[in-house]
Chain A
Amino acid sequence: MTKGTEGRDSMDAGLLAAETGADLGAARMQMALSLGWHIIVACLGVGMPAITLIAEWRGHRTGDVNYRLLARRWARAMGVLFAVGAVSGTILSFEMGLLWPGLMGTYGQVIGLPFSLEGIAFFIEAIFLGIYLYAWDRLPPVQHMLAGIPIVLAGVASAFFVVTANAWMQQPTGFDTEGGRVVAVDPWAAMFNPATPPQTVHMILAAFMVAGFLMASVYAVAMLRGRRDRYHRLGFLVPFTVAAVITPVQIGVGDWAAHFVAGNQPVKLAAIEGVFETERNVPLHLGGIAVDGEMRYAVEVPSGLSLLAHWDPNAEITGLNETPPRDRPPVNVVHWAFQIMVGMGFALLGLAAWAALGWWRRREIPRSRWFLRAAALSGVAAVLALEAGWVVTEVGRQPWIVYGVMRTEDAVNPAPGLVWGFVLVSVVYVILTIATVYVLRRLARDKPVPVAPQESDVTEYKVI
């Protein structure tokens, strides 16, 4: 099936435009806020169960109480995070309709299949998480660990399905339209669109990196404060190892994703690199700022972009001049988001290499306090890379909500008052953030874990 023909005529678009430009801006900010918030928790939801299971399994195999206590503590944090993840994710499904009825009314059915599958995966996740968290003392240890495995699989599957829907917005395939109405759909072709492979793999690996580095950074801080006992070392090592092993793979996958963008979303690539004129031997811009149609103050690597994007220093790169100004994404936002993502990625790679060196030489964590300081920041760095990466993907897609098919301004809810909704939602998210961080910090503190009625065997653990 071919790509959908370009949507509406201008009169239609005028009818559907938001009440005011401010409403469109508010809708976009609200979506960015709630997605940007949810995605951090979602990454923990994907990555944390696996890391927790590793600790539980090690505890079971070695009988080392430290592993078991870590698993127990992470599971408690997971309970909180999963709850806020479930509700913040639900809000997103509401917002798809509340904010973007133009998108969902027309194309909801095209991306319905992956969301239905995601619903099933999420259901399985929720069911087994309920069992895993609450049945610690009701199930024998091996059965309990087995109950954790569906959480990991379903978490990865959920991430995959949701990202396929986003990939479709980048590379819309699998449908035909007639007069702005969808007349034929191949939902499988829509789901397995060309952007699906690089985007889903990139995201799932990112989830494990974010979860691993965030968890490790908590223990790096504790170690900096002098708590270097086995419990804290293991609490650092288990998640850090997972994240550090994935980091180099992620750099390779990121390269794959960038090549994909170069080949399939040339306008996005031009915005990422601030290429205004179509040329050969295009340099790579590090830093810099776009002013009046040119990149200024950037460090240029000669022919760098041509080489990286097409493995050929002579390769031609399409510039923004080929696209009318109204169809271009904002260059500085996309350019800087990309710089931040890549910068953080390589910083994390450096940290992983440092740790590997220390392990290779002495079979232990590097002794330098600078290593721990850097590791303490690794969680923040991973989150920054994650958010910046999504800014590249989503802002780089603008002004399209469905790339080349439907403009964002035609998808937004034309009802007045969206600005107030955004204000209200922002206030709620500020409170939610404060409460979540506060509760998690309390959970992380070294004091006896409160004994809930269903956690009677917690008394068997030595509490540090």
Chain B
Amino acid sequence: MTAAEIMLTVLWLGLTAYVLFGGADFGAGVWDLLAGGAERGRPQRGLIEHSIGPVWEANHVWLIFVIVLMWTGFPEVFAAVASTLYIPLTLAALGIIARGAAFAFRKVSEELWQRRLFGATFAFSSVATPFFLGTTAGAIASGRVPPGIAKGELIGSWLNPTALVTGALAVGTAAYLAAVYLTRDAERAGEADLAEAFRRRALWTGATVGALSAIGLLVLNADAPRLFDGLVTGRGFPLLLLSIVAGIASLVLLWRRAYLAVRITAALAVAGLLWGWGAGQYPWLLPGVRVQDAAATDAVLTASLGALAVGAVLLLPSLWWLYATFQRERTAQK
């Protein structure tokens, strides 16, 4: 593996972490939106706030990682993507502001109207942000971002069949992962009713996302044949298969109420889709631009990868401590 390939792999790992963790935080916002009136939705909103409160900022950092690694490792690709897709990315950025700020504001507000206002902002931006980020993925996947600065269509690149499907898929996946994770969180908190409610949601969103992925494949066939071939006949196929198998297994596990195991299979189903896309498109980053064409110089790649390796030694135990502290029952309570 060349340094550029390692960098791309690390970048994709970061993206996977963002989708699996940060995505679920957005999904929790989707469920917050659908939780119903202030009174009826209170227990759900309480659970959501309790679950994502301590972790969402750390989960959010994965996105910053992906952006920074993209401009460090593949600067011309970053410039092409950001300049052509500046409209959906600006909207996603504003959604990120609204989501994070409103969530923090709601946590410290007491009056109902404030909690409603901040809550609604949090919830709506939790739908909009993954949608716009998803459309940018679709724009890149369907080859609509050409190399060069702002050379692609400013609107058509992200408002097209593939991008709309990936946008919807991003929202759906987020909601699905959140429902799966929240089921177990509710069970651990001793909230059997809530666990049951999120189990039902996980089941039907899981089925919906599966159907949406199938539609997505049909759209790809018509709209982005090269990626379709890569997914269905090329290197992406085993990963696509993994995603399908894991997705079906998740439904079975949910049905049988194996809430801890389903966390793993649901994550695998989503990760399989993401890596299937990556493998199917490899080695092309943009039309006519391969990994080795766009990669930064080796000195930059090795320095950054070295820094990340050292960083990982600090980060992984810290992350473990964070999740362990809040996934554990409260023991230190007086």
The answer to whether A109 and B93 touch (CB under 8 A), given A87-B101, A124-B318, A134-B54, is no
Q: Contact check: which of A89, A126, A424, A456 meets B90 at CB < 8 Å?
A: A424
Q: With CB as the reference atom, state the residue of chain A lying closest to B92.
A: A94
Cα-based distance from A105 to B303 in the complex (angstroms) = 19
* Contact pattern, B 84-125, Cβ under 8 Å of A = 1, otherwise 0: 101101101110111111111101111000000010000000
Tell me, yes or no, whether A108 is within 8 Å of chain B by CB. yes
Q: Contact check: which of A119, A129, A137, A442 meets B57 at CB < 8 Å?
A: A129
Tell me, yes or no, whether B315 is within 8 Å of chain A by CB. yes
CB-CB contacts below 8 Å: A72-128 with B: 76, 79-80, 82-84, 86-91, 93-99, 101-102, 104-110, 112-113, 115-120, 122-124, 126-128
Tell me, yes or no, whether A14 is within 8 Å of chain B by CB. no
Q: Are B297 and A413 in contact (CB under 8 A)?
A: no
Tell me, yes or no, whether B2 is within 8 Å of chain A by CB. no
Q: Are B149 and A414 in contact (CB under 8 A)?
A: yes
Q: Are A413 and B57 in contact (CB under 8 A)?
A: no
Q: Which residues of A contact B292 (CB under 8 A)?
A: none
Q: Which residues of B contact A124 (CB under 8 A)?
A: 314-315, 318
Q: Are B308 and A120 in contact (CB under 8 A)?
A: yes
CB-CB contacts below 8 Å: B139-170 with A: 149-150, 154
Q: Shortest beta-carbon distance, B311 to chain A, in Å?
A: 3
Tell me, yes or no, whether A291 is within 8 Å of chain B by CB. no
CB-CB contacts below 8 Å: A172-187 with B: 182-187
Size category of the binding interface on chain B: 35 or more
Q: Shortest beta-carbon distance, B91 to chain A, in Å?
A: 8
Q: Which residues of A contact B315 (CB under 8 A)?
A: 120, 123-124, 127
Q: Which residues of A contact B89 (CB under 8 A)?
A: 94, 97-98
The answer to whether A126 and B304 touch (CB under 8 A), given A120-B311, A131-B322, is no
Tell me, yes or no, whether B34 is within 8 Å of chain A by CB. no
The answer to whether A97 and B78 touch (CB under 8 A), given A90-B64, A186-B299, is yes
Q: With CB as the reference atom, state the residue of chain A lying closest to B295.
A: A109
Q: Which residues of A contact B319 (CB under 8 A)?
A: 127
Q: Shortest beta-carbon distance, A178 to chain B, in Å?
A: 12
Tell me, yes or no, whether B238 is within 8 Å of chain A by CB. no
Cα-based distance from A454 to B50 in the complex (angstroms) = 9
Q: Contact check: which of A99, A117, A127 meets B318 at CB < 8 Å?
A: A127
Q: With CB as the reference atom, state the residue of chain B lying closest to A105.
A: B79
Q: Shortest beta-carbon distance, B85 to chain A, in Å?
A: 9
Q: Which residues of B contact A133 (CB under 8 A)?
A: 54
Q: Are B82 and A82 in contact (CB under 8 A)?
A: no
Q: Which residues of B contact A102 (CB under 8 A)?
A: 79, 149
Secondary structure class of chain A's binding surface, majority of residues: helix
Tell me, yes or no, whether A302 is within 8 Å of chain B by CB. no
Q: Are A187 and B64 in contact (CB under 8 A)?
A: no
Tell me, yes or no, whether B61 is within 8 Å of chain A by CB. yes
Q: Are A83 and B71 in contact (CB under 8 A)?
A: no
Q: Are B304 and A104 in contact (CB under 8 A)?
A: no
Q: Which residues of A contact B87 (CB under 8 A)?
A: 417, 421
Stretch at the interface among B175-183, B194-202, B211-219, B325-333: B325-333
Stretch at the interface among A261-269, A282-290, A432-440: A432-440
Q: Which residues of B contact A150 (CB under 8 A)?
A: 318
Q: With CB as the reference atom, state the residue of chain B lying closest to A150.
A: B318
Q: Are B307 and A105 in contact (CB under 8 A)?
A: no
* Contact pattern, B 53-68, Cβ under 8 Å of A = 1, otherwise 0: 1110110110111011
Cα-based distance from A414 to B332 in the complex (angstroms) = 57
Q: Which residues of A contact B332 (CB under 8 A)?
A: 137-140
Size category of the binding interface on chain A: 35 or more
Q: Which residues of A contact B256 (CB under 8 A)?
A: none
Tell me, yes or no, whether B83 is within 8 Å of chain A by CB. yes
Q: Are B94 and A119 in contact (CB under 8 A)?
A: no
Q: Are B84 and A452 in contact (CB under 8 A)?
A: no
Tell me, yes or no, whether B300 is within 8 Å of chain A by CB. yes
Q: Are A109 and B297 in contact (CB under 8 A)?
A: yes
Tell me, yes or no, whether B221 is within 8 Å of chain A by CB. no
Q: Which of A110, A119, A137 has the most chain B CB within a 10 Å cutoff?
A: A119
The answer to whether A137 and B333 touch (CB under 8 A), given A109-B75, A421-B90, is yes
Q: Which residues of B contact A110 (CB under 8 A)?
A: 300
Q: Which residues of A contact B46 (CB under 8 A)?
A: 453
Q: Are A115 and B72 in contact (CB under 8 A)?
A: yes
Q: Which of B58, B63, B311, B326 has the most chain A CB within a 10 Å cutoff?
A: B58
Tell me, yes or no, whether A201 is within 8 Å of chain B by CB. no
Q: Contact check: which of A84, A87, A135, A456 meets B325 at CB < 8 Å?
A: A135
The answer to whether A93 and B64 touch (CB under 8 A), given A109-B73, A112-B71, A435-B101, is yes
Tell me, yes or no, whether A443 is within 8 Å of chain B by CB. yes
Q: Are B103 and A83 in contact (CB under 8 A)?
A: yes
Tell me, yes or no, whether B80 is within 8 Å of chain A by CB. yes
Cα-based distance from A122 to B62 in the complex (angstroms) = 10
Tell me, yes or no, whether A416 is within 8 Å of chain B by CB. yes
8 interchain residue pairs of minimum CB distance = A112-B72, A97-B82, A105-B79, A83-B104, A108-B75, A120-B311, A109-B296, A108-B71
Q: What 18 additional pairs, Cβ within 8 angstroms, besides A116-B72, A119-B68? A: A91-B97, A97-B81, A98-B86, A101-B83, A109-B73, A112-B72, A113-B304, A116-B69, A123-B58, A123-B61, A123-B315, A124-B318, A127-B319, A135-B325, A185-B300, A415-B83, A439-B105, A453-B46
Name 14 interchain pairs, CB-CB below 8 A, sorted by A: A83-B57, A87-B60, A97-B81, A97-B82, A105-B75, A112-B73, A122-B61, A127-B321, A130-B58, A139-B325, A185-B299, A185-B300, A414-B83, A435-B101
